[in-house]
Chain A
Amino acid sequence: MKPIENGGPWLGPLGRDADVVVASRVRLARNLAGFPFTNRASTTQRREVVSMVRDRAQASAWGRMLGWVDMQACPPEQRTQMVERHLVSKQFAASDAPRAVGISADETLSVMVNEEDHLRIQAMYSGLRIDECFAAATAFDRGAESALDFAWHHRWGYLTACPTNVGCGIRVSVMLHLPALRLTSELDRVRRAAKDLHLALRGFHGEGSEPMGDFYQLSNQITLGIRDEEVVGELRDRIIPQVIRYERLARETYRSKAPAAARDRFIRAAALLTHSRLMPLDEAMKLLGRLRLGIASGLTEAIDSTLVHRLLLQVQPAHLGLARPDDPMETLEQQSAARATLLRDALAPLRASIG
């Protein structure tokens, strides 16, 4: 796995609406006709699926950009790094069955083979760039279907193991930073509205994860009876702009009602991040979230959000290990100490600016 400076699909340019949007992702679920789905496939069949997809991708223009990682041969800490970078799912990293992931050099495209479905094609970009994600995922999908026979049904469309993905198999997710909506207790309303619109609001790492540092993923739930481009258009033109507007409004309200408190929150977060000797993961995420809000509100120009995004990744346990290969970090305290050192070093310009 490469050092984080060169990778991480959501560490690119911030783009528009970066005050609220962190990253966008489009995922397509596909299965190969003629094989049982992953949950019913034998070890031999799973191996066949891996080699069929990998070999055909490597032999064609549409798939040559992927470098392949055999998950069974991959050491645990590297698997966790891939989860932390959102390149593979937690379940995929934890399984012991034959499976592989193809990752493009810039890590914007990743293809999991033998996750819940035979193929999970995922494209991810920083900022609000759903269209680019959709184009990249679709380009791979169209290339792949010229060489692979995808499971298809005249009524249900693309077949997937779980009924929630049947149809066009698309999941569009946008990672959002919503601190003000939570502070003003409006988040539950957003959650209810999302549910009514068949959208899911989830935590930092998607399905089954806790929100950390006020980062959330908003994604579509319906994949049947709607065209993939309609799912994309709906989120891009209607839903996400509205959530962005609500969050900005909540930030404005909070700032105008309690300007001293808003500033104090930022200064406290900055002080803790730049002086602490021990920093647990959840606290680091929370404080980095506050820093990000402060930057978006113009409270500092010493650092920008790109640095915060990079740190959000670097403070994760497996990435901490990657940055300090000679430090065994056997206990949580040692990990906390290493995290605190990393943050103090990286945020030195901020320390100087807050005095």
Chain B
Amino acid sequence: MKCDQCDKPAVVHETVITAGVQTTVHLCAEHAMVQMHHVPASAPIAELLAAHLTGQRTQPACGGCGMTLAEFRKHNLAGCSACFDALSPVIDQAIQRAQGGATAHCGRAPARRDDAEARQAYRARLLNDLEQAVAAERYEVAAQVRNALREVDGIAGQQA
């Protein structure tokens, strides 16, 4: 649609009702400025999102080593052990993608490991994952989580 006052494309469309009579004005950016209309920015949502994401990206996401999400995405390398919780869920997705969809370790653990508390927290998280997977009818995932649960219980059994 063209501007009411020239041939440029209209960017401001305003419906005005004066004494019960409805009129619509279409104005290009320049004529809108002249008539004191507010001109929308070129792409306000995209800019807002970009600003938001940039801010988020440059903030250190890991308290352990100061790794940001942008750095992790760029190099695909974790910076320290704490990254594996701090960068979740981004790092979870990266691992699952690299590992053909596998969702948890199974098998050997260092013999010196005996932090029952962390194991309990992990077990609770797995139970939650299982519930969600079943609710979403994602049975393949559910089977994997169930295997992981068995692993956790197996390790606990061996150490008891």
Contacts and interface: CB of A to CB of B under 8 A. Distances in A.
Interface of A: 31, 33, 35-37, 39-40, 116, 142, 145-146, 149-164, 166-168, 198, 221-230
B118 A223 contact: no
A142 B119 CA distance: 21
A156 B100 contact: no
Contacts of A227: 106-108
A36 B110 contact: no
Contact of A150 (B76, B110, B148, B152): B110
Given A36-B80, A40-B67, A152-B113, A225 B75 contact: no
A167 B111 contact: no
Nearest to B122: A154
Given A162-B77, A168-B107, 17 more contacts: A36-B79, A146-B111, A150-B110, A153-B81, A154-B118, A155-B125, A155-B126, A157-B106, A157-B107, A161-B77, A161-B78, A163-B94, A163-B95, A164-B98, A164-B99, A225-B104, A225-B144
Contacts of A162: 76-78, 98
B109 interface: yes
A163 B102 contact: no
A286 B11 CA distance: 68
B79 to A, nearest CB: 4
Contacts of A156: 84, 95, 104-105
B95 A154 contact: no
Interface residues of B, number: 41
Given A163-B94, A225-B102, A142 B111 contact: yes
B1 interface: no
A190 B50 CA distance: 45
A224 B111 contact: no
A331 B65 CA distance: 46
27 contacts: A33-B81, A36-B80, A37-B78, A39-B77, A39-B79, A40-B80, A146-B112, A152-B110, A153-B84, A155-B104, A155-B122, A155-B125, A157-B106, A162-B77, A162-B78, A163-B91, A163-B95, A163-B97, A166-B95, A167-B99, A198-B100, A224-B105, A225-B104, A225-B105, A225-B144, A226-B106, A227-B108
Instruction: Tell which of B99, B108, B121 has the most Cβ of chain A within 10 Å.
Output: B99
A224 B77 contact: no
A163 B99 contact: yes
Given A167-B102, A227-B108, A154 B79 contact: no
Nearest to A221: B100
B64 interface: yes
B112 to A, nearest CB: 6
Contacts of A150: 110
Nearest to B62: A40
A93 B143 CA distance: 43
Nearest to A167: B105
Contacts of A158: 105, 110
A289 to B, nearest CB: 32
The 9 A-B residue pairs with the shortest CB-CB distance, nearest first, are A157-B105, A225-B102, A227-B107, A154-B122, A40-B79, A224-B99, A224-B102, A163-B98, A163-B95
Given A36-B65, A163-B94, A163-B99, A226 B80 contact: no
Contacts of B122: 154-155
Contacts of B103: 224-225
Interface in B104-154: 104-113, 118-119, 121-122, 125-126, 144, 147-148, 152
A273 B94 CA distance: 48
